[in-house]
Structure 1
Amino acid sequence: MEPRDTHVLELRGEALGTITSQSSMEETFQNQTLRPILKMQNDLFVQVFINYAVKQKNVFFSLTPEKKMAYIENVIQRDIKFRNALKGMIIALFTLDEYAEYIQNSSNLNKRMMNMLIERLKSQVLLIVE
């Protein structure tokens, strides 16, 4: 294994979630790779989102909690540049083998990754303040 891969795996920690022999490739990748990365990068994702919201004229901060939830989802689904930046923060922490696995099924894994990130940000909406 490449030294970079070893360091990345040590930094991320253990898989999160249950992986069984019946787990699909996507589910295994999600629990072994995506969940630990999202957990590790959580504080960065929150700060990046706050910065995004500030640059968008602070509209987010005056919304009701329900509308904040919709805003988070809408922004990540529709702002391609922002979405790609978030995706890059996740992919940057893949090992070479994980990246090879990712490119085989990137469309479905991108959906999983963004849905997990949306849910993570929504669950912390009360922490997201200007």
Structure 2
Amino acid sequence: MSNRDEGLLSLRPALLGEIHPQSSAEEIFQNTTIRPVLKFQNDLFIEAFINYAIKQKGQFFSLATDKQLSYIENAIHKDEKFRNALKGMIIGAFTVSEYRAYIKNSSNLNKRMMNMLIERLKDQVQLIVQ
């Protein structure tokens, strides 16, 4: 394992979620890699979303809470550039071996990553609007 990989693993939280004998490879990757990376990068995601909302004329901040939740979801689902930037923030925190596992099933893992990130941002909408 390289110094980079060791450093990354030492910075982020350990396993988040349960792994059962019947867990799929995707579930295992989600709980051993994606969840810890999302937690580790949380502050960066909030700042990235705030910056995105400001660049989109700041209308997000004047919306009602239910509309803000929809805005978060739409921004990530529909704005390919923003979504790719967020994916890069996640993938950039993978170790080399995690990246190798990720590329074997990137399409399904991307869906999981983005859905988890959307829920994470929605759960913290009050931090975003402060």
- Say how many residue pairs are matched: 130
Q: Which residue does the alignment assign to 2:15? A: 15
Q: Which residue does the alignment assign to 2:96? A: 96
Aligned AA for 2:16?
L
Q: Which residue does the alignment assign to 2:72? A: 72
Instruction: Report the 3-state secondary structure (helix = DSSP H, G, I; strand = E; otherwise coil) of the residue aligned with 1:46.
Output: helix
- CA-based RMSD: 0.8
Q: Which residue does the alignment assign to 2:2? A: 2
Compute the displacement of 1:13 (Å): 2.6
Q: Which residue does the alignment assign to 1:109? A: 109
CA distance in 2, matches of 1:21, 1:74: 35
Q: Which residue does the alignment assign to 2:60? A: 60
Q: Deviations over 1:19-44 (max 9, x none)?
A: 12211000000000000010011111
Correspondence 1:11-50 to 2 at 5 A: 11-50=11-50
1:125 counterpart = 2:125: yes
Please report the TM-score for the alignment, with normalisation by the length of structure 1. 0.97
Q: Which runs of 4+ in 1 moved over 4 A?
A: none
Aligned AA for 2:28?
T
Compute the displacement of 1:12 (Å): 1.2
Instruction: Report the 3-state secondary structure (helix = DSSP H, G, I; strand = E; otherwise coil) of the residue aligned with 1:128.
Output: helix
| Alignment check: 8 A CA contact 2:13 2:39 kept | no
Name the % identity.
Answer: 66
Q: Which structure 2 residue ranges, 5 or more long, are not aligned?
A: none
CA distance in 2, matches of 1:95, 1:48: 22
